[in-house]
Amino acid sequence: MKKFNKNIAVIGAGFAGLSSAAYLAKNGFQVTVYDQHQQPGGRARAVEQDGFLFDLGPSWYWMPDAFERFFAAFGKKPSDYYQLQRLDPSYRVFWENDQHWDIPANYDDFLQLMESTEKGAAQKTEEFLEQARIKYEVGMNDFVQRPSLSITEFMDVQIAKAALKLDLLKNMSSHVRKFYNDSRIIRLMEFPVLFLGAMPDRIPALYSMMNYADIKLGTWYPMGGMSEVVKGMVQVCEELGVKFELGNPVQKIDIKGKKAEGLLVNGNICTFDAVISSGDYHHTETQLLPTTHRSYNDAYWESRTMAPSCLLYYLGVNKKVEGLLHHNLFFDSDFGKHAREIYESPAWPSDPLFYACVPSKTDPSVAPEGKENIFLLIPVAPGMPDTPEIREKYLQILLDRLEARTGESIRPHIEVKRTFAYQDFVSQYNSFKGNAYGLANTLGQTAFLKPKMRSKKVENLFYSGQLTVPGPGVPPSLISGEVAAHEIEKYFAL
């Protein structure tokens, strides 16, 4: 093992910060992780109330290979820390006219669902997913492992050949429409890119790799919830000697000349040889650095397309609610209209699409016996401050829809109710415009066009997390942490 004998500070104990810390510690660095919260996990923290355990953020465990890769780097497996269960059906989609589809985990059953909806769609799906597989393999095994500091990283013959197969210059919307006509299949195939924070016509068709992840690799659930994954990563870090300073907001990065000398925490300077910030990139630049040492100016940030913010509800319901699965997508309203209200003319949605997660359908540990743990999510435009009245108004809209579609009364059975929205994203994560999951993966914000992993002005300051490469989501954050850690190794190896 290589001993660098250097002290590294990591700002943020989310997936990216934990990943950076673990890789650095494995390679002999002394690592200290700072987070303003008492609990690690960042957006993936959990909160317990009256016997309900609510995951605050991510709930879809996709791309299990990315988690396996992380733990394997430390000689471990996910099953050393948590038990995974594949969901079947993967999820339920509610359409207009009282229809719904349960998306089967079994591939042949999935093809049958496609064929019964549109003649020839099974064959088309095979072709669509074969292309998506190639993108997934090239994307995950090569592209995302590059720090994307310069376009030159992508200028070799191999990459140029691969890029042709990756459909970087086509958009997801027209790509899907080349294969299918049925509006439900189109929405189903476009849905995964909503995770990437932009309308399908602005997302490169490269990201049909997400359909491969969805349909072929499956939807999984870590028993106990996503916070079990966080606990596993913290354990890996602790076994490698990483120190945690939780409940400690970093107030400033202390700069001397072109170098970060340390962090200001609780009024004291703690010295370090290098810093990785996995907190919100815009916050780090504008609040922790002097203006002279920022890589990007205000105009740059204002011109970025942020991923949506969210209106979130965590409900503890004192009965079982039939008619819902673990994951439920309510696509029973106008997809295009809601997307325009997020991305084109920001407004509170007139008739929102929403997502309901009921982990107590799979996991008895997240709700008291006979009760249901329900998480509701409406994506909304970033930068729109909310009020208690708005939060209540939308909760009532969702409850109307839930009660109508399930035929169950829910309102009188709610015994725990929590909300989380724009103001909480700003106050709890220092999130730019209250973004829920970073920067959108539009073509103009992909790879070397994203905010760089390495500061342009401070030579020993690095970034990881959902606002830099490869992008939003739990698996990309794990990868981001790894790539940033390797950049630090390269910096000290010079």
Ligand X SMILES: Cc1cc2nc3c(=O)[nH]c(=O)nc-3n(C[C@H](O)[C@H](O)[C@H](O)COP(=O)(O)OP(=O)(O)OC[C@H]3O[C@@H](n4cnc5c(N)ncnc54)[C@H](O)[C@@H]3O)c2cc1C
Site mask for ligand X (CB under 6 A), range 358-387, x = bound = -------------------x----------
Side chain identity at 335, as an amino acid letter? F
Give the interface segment with ligand X, choosing from 37-45, 71-79, 86-94, 127-135 (CB under 6 A). 37-45
Site mask for ligand X (CB under 6 A), range 450-479, x = bound = ---------------xx-----xxx--x--
Residue 278 touching ligand X (CB under 6 A): yes
Residue 58 touching ligand X (CB under 6 A): yes
Core vs surface per residue 332-355: b (16+ CB within 10 A) or e = bbbbeebbbbbbeebeebeebbbb
Q: Between 200 and 481, whose beta carbon lies closer to ligand X?
A: 481
Kind and range of the H or E run holding 54: strand 52-55
Instruction: Provide the edge-to-edge strand list for the sheet that holds 91-94.
Output: 100-103, 91-94, 327-330, 354-357, 372-380, 309-317, 414-420
Give the interface segment with ligand X, choosing from 31-39, 83-91, 328-336, 405-413 (CB under 6 A). 31-39
Give the interface segment with ligand X, choosing from 34-42, 174-182, 406-414, 441-449 (CB under 6 A). 34-42
Return the residue of 4, 52, 60, 207 that touches ligand X, per CB under 6 A.
60
Site mask for ligand X (CB under 6 A), range 418-457, x = bound = -----------xx-----xxx-------------------
Are the C-beta atoms of 296 and 454 separated by less than 8 Å? no
What CA–CA distances, in Å, run from 10 to 29, 173, 453? 12, 38, 14
What is the distance of C-alpha 383 from the center of its chain? 19
Query: What gap in Å lies between CA 37 and CA 45, rounded to an integer?
Result: 9
Return the residue of 9, 42, 289, 316 that touches ligand X, per CB under 6 A.
42
End-to-end CA distance of the chain: 18
Kind and range of the H or E run holding 396: helix 388-406
The footprint of ligand X on this chain (CB under 6 A) covers a number of residues equal to: 38
Within 205-325, strands assigned E span 220-222, 243-246, 250-256, 259-265, 268-271, 274-277, 309-317
Q: Between 278 and 455, whose beta carbon lies closer to ligand X?
A: 278
Take residue 320 and report the two structure tokens written for it. Answer: 């079982």
Number of H helices, E strands in the chain: 15, 19
Residue 89 touching ligand X (CB under 6 A): no
Query: What gap in Å lies between CA 140 and CA 135, rounded to an integer?
Result: 8
Return the residue of 12, 64, 232, 262 that touches ligand X, per CB under 6 A.
12
Residue 136 touching ligand X (CB under 6 A): no
Are the C-beta atoms of 263 and 11 separated by less than 8 Å? yes
Give the interface segment with ligand X, choosing from 33-41, 200-208, 215-223, 315-323 (CB under 6 A). 33-41
Return the residue of 9, 16, 21, 421 that touches ligand X, per CB under 6 A.
16
CB atoms within 10 A of CB 106: 12
Residue 59 touching ligand X (CB under 6 A): yes
**Segment 297 to 316, residues that bind ligand X, using CB under 6 A:** 310, 312
Q: Between 222 and 465, whose beta carbon lies closer to ligand X?
A: 465
Query: What gap in Å lies between CA 103 and CA 58, rounded to an integer?
Result: 20
Q: Between 63 and 402, whose beta carbon lies closer to ligand X?
A: 63
Give the interface segment with ligand X, choosing from 12-20, 22-30, 80-88, 486-494 (CB under 6 A). 12-20
Query: What gap in Å lies between CA 238 and CA 40, rounded to an integer?
Result: 12
Return the residue of 8, 9, 10, 14 that touches ligand X, per CB under 6 A.
14
User: At its nearest, how many Å lie between ligand X and the CB of residue 453?
Assistant: 12
Return the residue of 6, 21, 52, 57 that touches ligand X, per CB under 6 A.
57
Summarize as ranges the residues that interact with ligand X (CB under 6 A). Answer: 11-17, 34-37, 42-44, 57-60, 249-250, 278-280, 283, 310, 312, 377, 429-430, 436-438, 465-466, 472-474, 477
